[in-house]
Structure 1
Amino acid sequence: MLDRGGRQKLVLDGFQAGLSWSIILNKRARFLEVFDGFDPQRMARYDRRRIAQILKDPGIVRNRQKIEAAVASARALLEFQEKEGSFDTFLWRFVGGAPKQNARRSLRQLPARTKESDRMSEALVGRGFRFVGPTICYAFMQAVGMVNDHLVTCFRHTELQRLVG
Structure 2
Amino acid sequence: NPLVFTPEIRDVTQAGEGEGARVYKYPIDPAATEGGNHGNDFVYFRLAEMMMVKAEAQNELGQTASAIQLINQVRARAFNPARPLAANLSQTQVRQAIFDERLFEFIGEAKRRQDMIRAGTYTNARLFKQASAPYRILMPIPQNQIETNPLLKQNPGY
Q: What TM-score range do you get, normalising by the shorter chain?
A: under 0.3
Structure with bigger gyration radius: 2
TM-score by length of 2: 0.28
Q: Larger helix proportion, structure 1 or 2?
A: 1
